[in-house]
């Protein structure tokens, strides 16, 4: 089976200190080195911050409410994305395991890993 989770996330790695970031900048945010090399990011990670958005931007009008999340990827780097399956604060927690899914909607879309949630 292929296709559903076959997408890649692109990011950047500092040629000097190795910092991995999902956000392109003119220079490394840690050491200031100007050479950032494009790299492939991990597609799995954990939620480090989230907000439930009930007033979306135009692209997401039909999706609200949804969670806007900051995910710390397993291989390094933080990326912001959204989770259409999360519609209320009690449906998500800091530290939740999530994975990137390729979708037809704009933005970086994440979904919770199944079977890894602690009871309760």
- Is there binding between residue 49 and Zn ion (CB under 5 A)? no
Per residue, the 3-state secondary structure of the chain, as one string, reads CCCCCCCCEEEEEECCCCCEECCCCCCCCCCCCCCEEEEEECCEEEEEEEEEECCCCHHHCCCCCEEEEEEEECCCCEEEEEECCCCCHHHCCCCCEEEEECCCCCCCEEEECCCCCCCC
Shortest separation between residue 29's beta carbon and Zn ion, angstroms: 8
Map the footprint of Zn ion across residues 8-47, applying CB under 5 A: 14, 16-17, 19, 28, 30-31, 33
Shortest separation between residue 34's beta carbon and Zn ion, angstroms: 9
Residues near Zn ion (CB under 5 A) are 14, 16-17, 19, 28, 30-31, 33
């Amino acid at each position: 089976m292929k296709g559903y989770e076959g997408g890649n996330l692109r990011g950047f790695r500092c040629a000097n200190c190795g910092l991995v970031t999902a956000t392109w900048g003119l220079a490394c945010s840690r050491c200031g080195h100007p050479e950032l090399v494009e790299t492939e990011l991990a597609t799995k990670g954990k939620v480090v911050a989230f907000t439930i958005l009930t007033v979306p931007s135009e692209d997401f009008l039909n999706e609200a409410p949804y969670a806007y999340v900051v995910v710390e990827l397993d291989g390094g780097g933080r990326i912001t994305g959204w989770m259409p399956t999360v519609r209320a604060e009690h449906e998500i927690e800091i530290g939740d395991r999530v994975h990137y899914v390729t979708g037809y909607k704009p933005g970086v879309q994440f979904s919770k890993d199944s079977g890894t949630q602690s009871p309760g």
